Structure 1
Amino acid sequence: MSFAERLQQRIKKTGSRLCVGLDPRPGDGGATFARNFLKQVIDETADSAAAYKPNMAYFEAMGIDGIRVLEDLLSKMPEGIPVILDAKRSDIGETQKYYAQGYFSGWNVDAVTLNPFLGYDSIEPFLDWKDKGIYLLAVTSNPGTADFQQQKLADGRSVFELVTALGERAKAEERATDVGYVVGLTNAAAVLEKIPDAPLLVPGLGAQGGDLASLASAGRTAPDVINVSRGILYAADERGFGARARGWAEKIATAYPV
């Protein structure tokens, strides 16, 4: 079963598109605290999560102990819940080959985020992994998306359309890996009509204040997931992680039905 099919299956099972971001803040007690904290998050949110998204930066900030925490978590993830590793890797093809081998074979994650700035040959090492997925950064959720991603080219296209052209090329070549895109909810309304109906990883709903209406009205059929990290892990309320996740899952399902 392909990555997209597994993700779609999980979305249907949970009735929601919620992706739970796993971002342990390194100042909150070190690696031991992070391990216990994230284990509790996963245990309490597993019923609501369509996917989990550990962010490499937060683990790398704790040094080698943080990497061990991530490896331990990946080995104990609940069965049937896809894991999207938010690594945003970008390098020449030979180096990317080893990133792909490490993530897809060594750590056995289901999908990885990639920065496509170096071009098609830099994502090719990730394209021949059966039943895996990649998400190319297309239009991110930060204000700086205007600096490059949404700049207009001489032929009328925007730079992010060069990114989606890479994914369409991989699809035309019938490569083994599913290709999706990162599209920030804060910027989605202006670009969705130009984004292929491929899986989207959508940050920007919780603390960044994105609006789901643009996604809901776009007529998409792909297994899109909407990430919430701080709104579940660090919300300033008395609810537990599970209650927060259920709240976000219900909000997403109401605005963007499965």
Structure 2
Amino acid sequence: MSYAERLQKRIEKTGSRLCVGLDPRPGDGGAAFAKNFLTQVIEETAIWAAAYKPNMAYFEAMGIEGIKLLEDLLAAMPSDVPVILDAKRSDIGETQKYYAQGYFAGWNVDAVTLNPFLGYDSIEPFLDWEGKGIYLLAVTSNPGSADFQRQKLADGRSVFELVTALGDRAKAEGRATDVGYVVGLTNAADVLEKIPDAPLLVPGLGAQGGDLASLAAAGRSAPDVINVSRGILYAADERGFGKRARDWAEKISAAYGK
């Protein structure tokens, strides 16, 4: 089963496109506290989660204990929920080979985010993994996406279209790994018509203020997932993690008319 097929199956099972971001704040009690905190998050949100997205930066900030925590969490994840490792790695091919080996073989995550701006050869080590996926940064949710990603080229294309061309090339070559894209909801309205109907990882809902309307109206068939991190983990209200996840999942479903 391909990564996209597995993700689509999970979306259909849950009726949810919610990706739960796992971003433990290092200053909130260290790795031991973070383990208990995230274990509770996973237990309470699993019924609503189309995917989980641990962000490497938060774990790396806790040092070796944070990496061990991530390993423990990955080993204990519900087997039917895809895991997207938000690593945003970018390096030359030989180094990328070991990143791919570590993430896909060692940690057995289902998908990884990659920065594609070193070119096609830098993503190639991730392209021959059956059943796995990668998400290339195309149009991110921060204002700085205008500095490069949304700049116009002389031929009329935008820079992010060079990124999607890498995914088109991988597909044309019949590579084993599914290629999707990171498209921030805050900047999605003006770019979605130029993004292939491949899996999207969509940050920017909730704390970043993104609007679902443009995404829901795009008529896409790919298994897109919308990430919420702070709105579930750190919302300043009396709801538990599960109730927050349910509310976000229902909000997303309502926007899609489902």
Off by >2 Å, runs of 4+ in structure 1: none
Partners of 1:257 and 1:97 in 2: CA distance: 42
Cα distance in 2 for partners of 1:79, 1:109 equals 11
Q: State the one-letter code of the partner of 1:223.
A: P
Look up the match of 2:197: 197
Task: Give CA-to-partner distance per residue, 1:30-55, whole Å, 9 cap, x none.
Answer: 00000000000000000000000000
Identity of aligned residues (%): 87
Task: Quote the Cα distance in structure 1 between the aligned partners of 2:125 and 2:109.
Answer: 15
Counterpart secondary structure, 1:108: coil
Unmatched 5+ stretches in structure 1:
none
Corresponding residue for residue 256 of structure 2:
256
CA distance in 2, matches of 1:37, 1:217: 36
The equivalent of 1:54 in structure 2 is 54
1:181 is matched with 181
1:124 correspondence with 2:128: no
Aligned to 1:207: 207
**SS of match in other structure, 2:137:** strand
| Letter paired with 2:149 | Q
Q: Displacement of 1:16 after TM fit?
A: 1.1
Equivalent residue number for residue 87 of structure 1 = 87
- CA shift, 1:193, in A, is 0.2
Alignment of 1:108-123 (within 5 A): 108-123=108-123
- Displacement of 1:158 in angstroms is 0.2
Name the amino acid aligned to 1:28.
Answer: D
By how many angstroms is 1:257 displaced? 4.4
Q: Which amino acid aligns with 2:73?
A: L
Distance in 1 separating the partners of 2:157 and 2:148: 12
Q: Deviations over 1:3-41 (max 9, x none)?
A: 000000000111010000000000000000000000000
Q: Deviations over 1:120-157 (max 9, x none)?
A: 00000000000000000000000000000000000000
TM-score (norm 2): 0.99
* Residues paired across the two proteins, number: 258
Structure 2 SS opposite 1:219: coil
Q: 2:16: which partner in 1?
A: 16
**Corresponding residue for 2:169?**
169
- Residue 16 of structure 1 contacts residue 257 of structure 1 at CA under 8 Å; is this kept in 2? no
Match of 1:137 in 2: 137
Which SS does the other structure have where 1:20 is aligned?
Answer: strand
Task: Using structure 1 for the length normalisation, give the TM-score.
Answer: 0.99
Q: For 1:97 and 1:79, locate their aligned partners in 2 and report how far apart those are by CA, in whole Å.
A: 25
**What is the rounded CA distance, in whole Å, between the counterparts of 1:61 and 1:217 in structure 2?**
38
Contact 1:44–1:241, Cα closer than 8 Å, also in 2: yes
Q: Look up the equivalent residue of 1:26 and give its one-letter code.
A: P
The one-letter code matched in structure 2 to 1:217 is: A
Tell me which residue corresponds to 1:28: 28
- Cα offset for 1:79? 1.6
**Partner Cα separation in structure 1 for residue 256 and residue 207 of structure 2:** 19
Q: Distance in 1 between matches of 2:225 and 2:184?
A: 11
Kindly provide the amino acid, as one letter, of the partner of residue 46 in structure 1. A
Residue 40 (str. 1) matches residue 43 (str. 2) = no
Would the aligned equivalents of 1:85 and 1:109 in 2 still touch at CA under 8 Å?
yes
Give the secondary-structure state (helix, strand or coil) at the position aligned to 2:96.
helix
* Deviation for aligned residue 1:256: 2.0
Q: CA deviation at 1:248?
A: 0.2
Residues 230-241 of structure 1 mapped to structure 2, 5 A cutoff: 230-241=230-241
